[in-house]
Structure 1
Amino acid sequence: MPLLIVGIGILALLVLIMGLKLNTFVSLIIVSFGVALALGMPLDTIVKTIEAGLGGTLGHLALIFGLGAMLGKLIADAGGAQRIAMTLVNKFGVKNIQWAVVAASFIIGIALFFEVGLVLLIPIVFAIARQLRVSILYLGIPMTAALSVTHGFLPPHPGPTVIAGEFGADIGQVLLYGIIISIPTVLLAGPVFTKIAKKIVPDSFTKTGSIASLGEQKTFKLEDTPGFGISVFTALLPVILMSIATIITLVQNTAGVADNSFLAAIRFIGEAGTAMLISLLFAVYSMGLARKIPMKQVMDSCTTAITQIGMMLLIIGGGGAFKQVLIDGGVGTYVADLFEGTSMSPILLAWVIAAILRISLGSATVAALTTAGLVIPILGTTDVNLALVVLATGAGSLIASHVNDAGFWMFKEYFGLSMKETFATWTLLETIISVAGLLFILLLSMFV
């Protein structure tokens, strides 16, 4: 019965968002109330549960997400992202242009959220494709593969960051293991899949696409942008800080080194919130003040970044409210009882649930959060590596993007594809990332 109620709730969510075109956040809150009532939760606890879910999720995420958005915006507005892309294109040369796009998109994708990275990189990809007279899709598939992988697997992106918090996983471990599985996944879903897609839908590689909807793009003369080294360092600084702290902690635990104030300080600097704040302050200098950009202009970029993610934060909060209703309403416990004694790995279970919800709901972040509500009670009964469960949830939440996902329509319109071609390229690309990600996670689970 609880699963039937959840199923009806998800169906109602689809009707509200796709049928009635209601705002996603409002839809999530309505469904949270409806499911809570249907599960028989006491009336005086429902509002408290929804507030706890919303506040608990945003409390963990808002700091990292907000600082991350500002960091990415500073790099983009200073021309740092353009410098990274164009330098790598020039270094790799025409023959290896796909690898240049993958490398640039991966670095930029760590610093920028998916939609922002897409809007920023697409004009650059179009310009390179025209200059080299190659298909825009030939470069577009590797670019979106790299952006999608960083979005699904790597903090400070919302999905992996939120789920790490919900599961109580070490965010540095999520980042470290995420990078390990991201690299082979990007190679498979990017350059390798491009060859397969060319055989499946050859006509799609002749399309010219259109970026008119993006409006006039801010472009820079290369000499007016920050240096390549400082741009890459600024983009990757949070990753460097979190990774150093994680590696030192792993070495400390393995070698049995006694804790001391120096190691505590390193852990503090490597905390996601601290690392993001240090990185943002460094970016204010490296992308702004060091280049004689007035502080007001630098702060205007930060303000714009926060304005752009306001609704995204509310939607994530709404997903957190729905997740809390599933936990407090007993659905998570019901699922845990259902799988009690099963030999199914929590990693696989998290992936399956996230995949089903992703196909149903469209939003990767909402699918991941709802999965947390169903999986958390199971995690208490197992010694599975929580960082790998986070990554498996992220992988499942990327599968089979189709008509209920904004990314599907963005890809279709920018690259000028038909519905059939979009399914054969974008939907298949996301599915490859999801399945390959799961396989690499299961492989990694044998060693960690």
Structure 2
Amino acid sequence: MMSFVVLGLGILFLLVLIIKFKINTFISLILTAALVGAGLGMPLDQIPTSIQNGIGSSLGELAIVFGFGAVLGRLVADAGGAYRIAHTLIAKFGKKRVQLAIMVAAFIIGIALFFEVGMVLLIPIVFAIALEASVPLLYLGIPMAAALSVTHGFLPPHPAPTAIAGALGANPGTVLVYGLIVAIPAAIVAGPIFTKLAQKFAPDAFVVKKQLTAFGQQKAFQIDETPSCGISVLTSLFPVLLMGITTVYTIIYNDGQPFKNPKGIDAFITMIGNPVAAMIISLVFALWAMGWHQGRATKDMMVTVEDAVKSIAMLLLIIGGGAAFKQILIDGGISKQISDLFIHSAISPLILAWLITVLLRVALGSATVAALTAAGLVQPLMAASGINPALMVLVIGAGSLAFSHVNDAGFWMFKEYFDLNVKQTLQIWTVLETIIAVVGLGMALILNLIV
């Protein structure tokens, strides 16, 4: 149990550094990771390596995805595209139904995009809509985050459900169908319904903001000076279209599985669906659609690019710090100790898989790592119990979202993008993710009685 005591003390130490002493979050995460590694008995020379590996593995892809995603979003915003989309949505749906419109749009986008990419692309548009509708950003942001999160946890082709389905022998198409049945109620409960509750217990977070740290002061536009809604939406969703093409193609021609040695058209389709390639291609299109095509000078667009990169620099470091903390916990052996707790348990296999994944999620931070680790632990149990493998994939996906806190990159991303403090992020983001986890488990248990 000493390892869990060390983990608890480490999290407490991190919160004290950030909240009490106002130490920079990135610095606090690295210091905490080093101390926890020492407390777990890791060789001292391995601690810096684990921190380096954690940061490198996290930022290797995210650096370009986040960087180009932020630039694309800022180009759309600075050209007036986000304002045009906001104005059009409000005109079509009205202020009363705009929250539902945002959630549906985020759900559709989230099927094709990673959570982080969807958040980067949608935040500028959602912020513009919130400004235009004069509502708090979180009023629209919570349903958006809920929709993106459920697709990340339950629906292939996202990494965790796809990889778990492969590990447990579940058909990806079946997982997708059952996943939709689970994801839609979870998004509704954790989105619009939870928003009403959150406004009561965290009212200080629901304020109308004129600017965000991650995006700066928003420009004022005349509607006739902005790009058309069609080209603005196309530019914003270009990465979604590219990844969506790849997803549909693999479902039709390879049962939803990635091609092992793609050639010709298979290689081309695989390439454009890669998040890095999709963002590179999309940024080139955005430079034309929101820049040269609108008569903007290249010099002006490069100012937009620099501002966008500056705005997310600290966010990238914070995400890297969270990944370093996560890697220390993995290399320190906490995941194995959690699995040992349940070796002789008589709990229902679905509930047991959920509990194991929740504990791994709390300890390790990464939803994907927690899910993949749990899949390996429960595979023998599933084979012996005869549980539908698709349902096992879903309960593991649900558990991997629970109790997101300071060792999860998503926690810090939500905090920074929505300009919240740590307490507010725990009250809103952590609770939102846990609601999805609980509703997901409940829906999977109901499905288990039917299928």
Match of 1:396 among 373, 398, 402: 402
Which amino acid is the alignment partner of residue 25 of structure 1? F
Query: Aligned partners of 1:447, 1:179: CA distance in 2, in Å?
Result: 15
Counterpart for residue 350 of structure 1:
357
Counterpart for residue 93 of structure 2:
92
Query: Aligned partners of 2:35, 2:159: CA distance in 1, in Å?
Result: 24
- Which aligned pairs between 1:98-137 and structure 2 lie closer than 5 A? 98-100=99-101, 102=103, 121-122=126-127, 124-129=129-134, 136=135
- Which aligned pairs between 1:16-415 and structure 2 lie closer than 5 A? 16-93=17-94, 96-100=97-101, 102=103, 121-122=126-127, 124-129=129-134, 136=135, 142-149=139-146, 152=149, 180=180, 184-192=185-193, 197=197, 209-211=207-209, 217-254=218-255, 260-340=263-343, 343=349, 344=351, 346-347=353-354, 349-351=356-358, 353-354=360-361, 356=362, 368-369=365-366, 377-382=373-378, 392=398, 395-397=401-403
Please report how far the alpha carbon of residue 49 of structure 1 lies from its aligned counterpart in structure 2 after TM superposition. Answer: 1.8
- Kindly indicate whether the alpha-carbon contact (under 8 Å) linking 1:351 and 1:396 is maintained by their aligned counterparts in 2: yes
Q: Deviations over 1:73-131 (max 9, x none)?
A: 111111111111111221224664544455577789989875996676456435435xx
Distance 1:68 1:38, change over 3 A: same
TM-score (norm 2): 0.71
Query: Aligned partners of 1:101, 1:280: CA distance in 2, in Å?
Result: 23
- Kindly indicate whether the alpha-carbon contact (under 8 Å) linking 1:145 and 1:433 is maintained by their aligned counterparts in 2: no
Query: Aligned partners of 2:66, 2:162: CA distance in 1, in Å?
Result: 13
Query: Aligned partners of 1:441, 1:225: CA distance in 2, in Å?
Result: 46
Please report how far the alpha carbon of residue 236 of structure 1 lies from its aligned counterpart in structure 2 after TM superposition. Answer: 1.5
Distance 1:303 1:113, change over 3 A: farther
Secondary structure in 1 matching 2:237: helix
- Kindly indicate whether the alpha-carbon contact (under 8 Å) linking 1:89 and 1:97 is maintained by their aligned counterparts in 2: yes
- Kindly indicate whether the alpha-carbon contact (under 8 Å) linking 1:73 and 1:305 is maintained by their aligned counterparts in 2: yes
Structure 1: give runs of 5+ residues left out of the alignment. Answer: 130-135, 358-366, 414-418
Distance 1:377 1:183, change over 3 A: closer
- Kindly indicate whether the alpha-carbon contact (under 8 Å) linking 1:327 and 1:374 is maintained by their aligned counterparts in 2: no
Q: Deviations over 1:6-59 (max 9, x none)?
A: 111111111111122111111111111111111222222222222111112211
- Kindly indicate whether the alpha-carbon contact (under 8 Å) linking 2:80 and 2:227 is maintained by their aligned counterparts in 1: yes
Query: Aligned partners of 2:338, 2:126: CA distance in 1, in Å?
Result: 42
- Kindly indicate whether the alpha-carbon contact (under 8 Å) linking 1:61 and 1:161 is maintained by their aligned counterparts in 2: no
Which amino acid is the alignment partner of residue 251 of structure 1? I
Secondary structure in 2 matching 1:21: coil
Query: Aligned partners of 1:94, 1:320: CA distance in 2, in Å?
Result: 39
Please report how far the alpha carbon of residue 224 of structure 1 lies from its aligned counterpart in structure 2 after TM superposition. Answer: 1.3
Query: Aligned partners of 1:221, 1:179: CA distance in 2, in Å?
Result: 43
Which amino acid is the alignment partner of residue 228 of structure 2? G
Which amino acid is the alignment partner of residue 221 of structure 1? Q
RMSD: 4.9
Q: How many residues align?
A: 410
Secondary structure in 1 matching 2:221: coil
- Kindly indicate whether the alpha-carbon contact (under 8 Å) linking 2:271 and 2:277 is maintained by their aligned counterparts in 1: yes
Secondary structure in 2 matching 1:43: coil
Mean Cα deviation higher: 278-287 or 48-57: 48-57
- Kindly indicate whether the alpha-carbon contact (under 8 Å) linking 1:12 and 1:31 is maintained by their aligned counterparts in 2: yes
Secondary structure in 1 matching 2:365: helix
- Kindly indicate whether the alpha-carbon contact (under 8 Å) linking 1:102 and 1:146 is maintained by their aligned counterparts in 2: yes
Counterpart for residue 385 of structure 2:
none
Query: Aligned partners of 1:179, 1:302: CA distance in 2, in Å?
Result: 38
Please report how far the alpha carbon of residue 290 of structure 1 lies from its aligned counterpart in structure 2 after TM superposition. Answer: 0.8
Query: Aligned partners of 1:128, 1:334: CA distance in 2, in Å?
Result: 50
Identity over the aligned pairs, expressed in percent? 36
Please report how far the alpha carbon of residue 270 of structure 1 lies from its aligned counterpart in structure 2 after TM superposition. Answer: 0.8
Structure 2: give runs of 5+ residues left out of the alignment. Answer: 380-388
